Amino acid sequence: MVHQGVSNFSILNWCRDLKAQNLTGGVPPEFAKLRHLTHLDLSRNCLNGTIPPQWAKMGLVDVSFMGNRLSGSFPKVLTRMTTLVNLSIEGNQFSGPIPSEIGLLVNLQKLILSSNAFTGDLPVTLAKLTSLTDLRISDNNFTGKIPDFISSWKQIEKLHMQGCSLKGPIPSSISTLTSLSDLRIGDLTGGGSTFPPLSDMKSMKVLDLSFNNLTGDIPASFEHLIKVDFLYLTRNRLTGRIPSWILARNKNADLSYNNFTLDSSAPVECPRGSVGRHPCMKREYPCLEPRNQQRYSFHINCGGKEVNINNNNTIYDADLEARGASMYYWKQNWAFSSTGNFMDNDLDSDNYIETNISMLYNVTAPVSELYRTARVSPLSLTYYGLCLLNGNYTVKLHFAEIMFTNDSSFNSLGRRIFDVYLQGKLVLKDFDIAAEAGGPGRPIIKTFTAVVTSHTLKIHLYWAGRGTTGIPKRGTYGPLISAISVNPNFKPPVHHKKFRTSLVAGTIAGAVCFLTLILCFMHAKGCFGGKISADKELRGLDLQTGLFTLRQIKAATKNFDPENKIGEGGFGSVYKGLLSDGTIIAVKQLSSKSKQGTREFVNEIGMISALQHQI
C-alpha cells in the first residue's frame, strides 16, 4: 500500500524510491497533494485499477507506471497533464482506443504504450506531438495502416511498431524522419511492399524490419548507412544479390528466410558464428552422408548439459554455446542459429542461456534437469535436425517459463509470447508458455508430426514483438525452449538397425561357416604342426555360429561381386552379403596363396567379431 504518509512529502520533487517495491492496491489519489512533484516512478509494482482523476492537478513532467496491473480504458486524466514530457504506461492491461485527446500533450518527447491491449486506429491527433523523440507502441491490437502522419515526427529517434497488428506498407513518408537511430517495425499484416526509403537516415544504428513481406532488392543507397550496428531483415521476400558491404560490415545481421540469389562461389558450409552470410540464408541444407549414415532421431537439452533419461535409453545432447547474436552453431547431427540482441538492457553482453529462478512443479529428476536451463533468443531461434532419413517424425518441444515467478510479486507479471514454425508451417501462434502450462515453473510439452523430405528438420521460434520486454528486467523477452526430442514414426531400415545387431551375428556366422574348410586346408598345408589346437584358440571368442550353403553365400554376395568388396585381410578379401531374410553378413573368401598361420587367422576372426563395437 502507498496511501499512508504520501501527503507528508508535500515539497518532494523527485520520487524514484517506490520503483520495484511490489506495492499493491490502487494508485493513491493523495499524490495529487504533492504539488511540487515533477518526477514519479512507480514502475515494476503490483498496482491495480486506474489513475485517479485527482491527478489532473499535478504538474508531473516524467511519470512511469511500467509493469503494473493497471486496467480499463486509456486514462484520460493523463491527457490533462499537459506538463508531461515523458510518459510510460507500458506493460499493463489497458484496452480500447487511444483517445484523440492524446494530441493535447504537445510537450511529450517520450511516449511508451507497448504491451497493453489497445485497439482501433491510431488517432490523427498524434501528428500534433511534434516533439516526440521516442515512441513505442509494440504489442497491441491496433487496426488500420501505418499512417502517413508519422512524417510529422521530425525529431523522432526511436520508433518501435512490432507486433501491434498494423497493416503495411511502410509509408514512403518515413523518409523524412532523418533523425531516426533505432527503427523496429515488424509483423505487419496485409500484402507485401517494397523496401522503404531510408537512405537519408545517417544516424541509424538499429534497423529491424523482420517479418514484413518486403519485396525487391536491398537499395544500393543503403551502403551510406555506415552507423548501422544491428541489421535484421529475416522472413521477408527480398530478392537479388546481397550487397557485399552488408557481409563485410555487419556482424550482427540476419538476412535469412528471403529469396536472395546466392553467389555460386560462396562456401558450401555455413560459417560458424554468423547467420547473415553465405550460405546461411539457404532454406535447405543438403545431406552429403551416405544413406547408411543418415539419422532418424535426435534429442537436445537446450541451454543445458547432457542429460541421461531412462538409463541410457535416451540421451539429450548438451547445448552450451553461450553466444547468440547472429550465431550459427552445429554438431554432427543438429545445429542451431540465433539472431538478435536484447535491446535496451544497458548491458555490454547478453545472456542466451538462462537458469531457472522459479520453483519447478510436477517434475522429478532426471527429467527435471531438462527444465533447469533454457536457450533464449531476442528475435529468431532455429534448430535444425541434419541428415535425417526422409519420413514422418514426432517432434516434442519442451517448455517451462523459468524467468518469471509464480507468486504475487512484480516478477510474475511478465508475458513471454512468440511464434513457432515447424518445417515452415506456423504451428503455435502467440504462444505463451506460462499461460499454456498454468503458470511459471510448470513444464509443458507440445507434440507435433513433421514430414522430412530433404533430410533436414527445421524448428523455428520467432519473436514478433508481442509480450512484455521489461519484466522482471529489461531484455526479458523472446523465444525460450528447454528441450527438443525428435523420433521417427517409421521402423528404421535394415541398414540402420540390423547393421548394428544382425551384422555382427552375420559377420561371425559367415566367417565361422568357413572355419572347418579353412582349418582342413591349413592342416593339409602343415600349418598347425600338431602343436596348437585351433579349437582351443577359438573358444576364447564369443561367436554366434551358423551354417550356410555355398549357394546361399554366392547369392548373398552376388557371386562375390567386386562392388560388394568391403576389405582385404591376410587370408583373402571380405565381401558384404545380404541374406534372403534381410540379415547382412560379411564373407571372407579364402586365398590359397596365404602363408599365415592359425594364430593370425584366429586374430582376424577376433577382429571381425569386434565389429559389433564399431558399427
Closest by CA position to 464, among listed 340, 351, 348: 340
- Rounded to whole angstroms, the Cα distance separating 496 from 490 reads 12
**Cα(476)–Cα(294) distance, rounded to whole angstroms?**
38
DSSP state of 544: -
Looking at this protein, which amino acid is placed at residue 171?
Answer: P
CB atoms within 10 A of CB 248: 9
- Nearest residue to 451 via CA among 421, 419, 422, 427: 422
Q: How far is CA 220 from CA 60, 208, 210, in A?
A: 46, 18, 19
Report the alpha-carbon distance of residue 615 to residue 607 in Å, rounded: 13
Please tell me whether residue 359 adopts helix, strand or coil conformation: coil
559 sits in the region (left: phi over 0; alpha: psi -120 to 50; else beta) called left
The single-letter DSSP state of residue 272 is T
Here the cell at position 179 is 533523425
Give all strands of the β-sheet with 237-238 in edge-to-edge order: 193-194, 214-216, 237-238
R_g (Cα) of the chain, nearest Å: 33
**CB of 286 within 8 A of CB of 351?**
no
**Is 588 labelled as part of a ligand binding site?**
yes
Annotated binding site for ATP: 588
Annotated binding site: 588
